[in-house]
A = this chain, B = another copy of it.
């Protein structure tokens, strides 16, 4: 499997969890920042290899084989991110691009030894789940901070936007995975929130709150 094929599988996998039904050519093109015609070419190739179900004009979905491959790529991506943060002291906003390269390294033994070296983590530095060697994922129930009611409290367990801009903003505000956040009040006008985080009071916009995952406590 080529890097390009792997990137397409991964894109389809990620779109599947957001869009539920069949994935459109255009959705893939947008996600991969490429042209729809290139996507069509690749879908044919992936279909030939039994990695996707594809019918002209009808969108695409992963076969079992394709799903498993996609999960293994995501597994590698997230394990490498853990390695970079935990072992090499990268910060969580620096690791994505490097992991994009490392996820294509081919060696089952390597992934599994890396997994063991890292003590079989179940989540990456952004709170995303890491599939195990069989492809199984531990789902943690979580919701957006913006969905919490006034006076409710949550533990920050993930980010929806993983851009370094957003992650660096969170660093600046002292928000990280594990932070305890209480909604003090919600401003009706712009849905901004007054929160207390580890005792510290501050105001955050709705945009921020709808990119933070929390586990209610």
Binding site for B on A (CB under 8 A): 84, 87-90, 94, 97-98, 101-102, 105-107, 109-110, 113-114, 117
Contacts and interface: CB of A to CB of B under 8 A. Distances in A.
Shortest 4 CB-CB distances between A and B: which pairs? A88-B113, A101-B105, A98-B107, A98-B110
B101 A114 contact: no
Given A101-B106, A105-B105, 17 more contacts: A84-B110, A87-B117, A88-B110, A88-B113, A88-B114, A88-B117, A89-B113, A90-B109, A90-B113, A94-B109, A97-B107, A98-B105, A98-B107, A98-B110, A101-B105, A101-B107, A102-B105
Contacts of A87: 117
A79 to B, nearest CB: 12
A84 to B, nearest CB: 8
Contacts of A89: 113
Nearest to A87: B117
Which residue of A90, A107, A109, A113 has the most chain B CB atoms within 10 A of its CB atom?
Answer: A107
A169 B106 CA distance: 26
10 contacts: A87-B117, A88-B114, A88-B117, A90-B109, A90-B113, A94-B109, A97-B107, A101-B105, A101-B106, A102-B105
A98 B108 CA distance: 10
A98 B88 CA distance: 19
A74 to B, nearest CB: 18
A87 B98 CA distance: 20
A94 to B, nearest CB: 8
Nearest to A101: B105
Contacts of A98: 105, 107, 110
A113 B109 CA distance: 23
Contacts of A101: 105-107
A49 B90 CA distance: 32
Contacts of A97: 107
A130 to B, nearest CB: 17
A117 to B, nearest CB: 6
Contacts of A102: 105
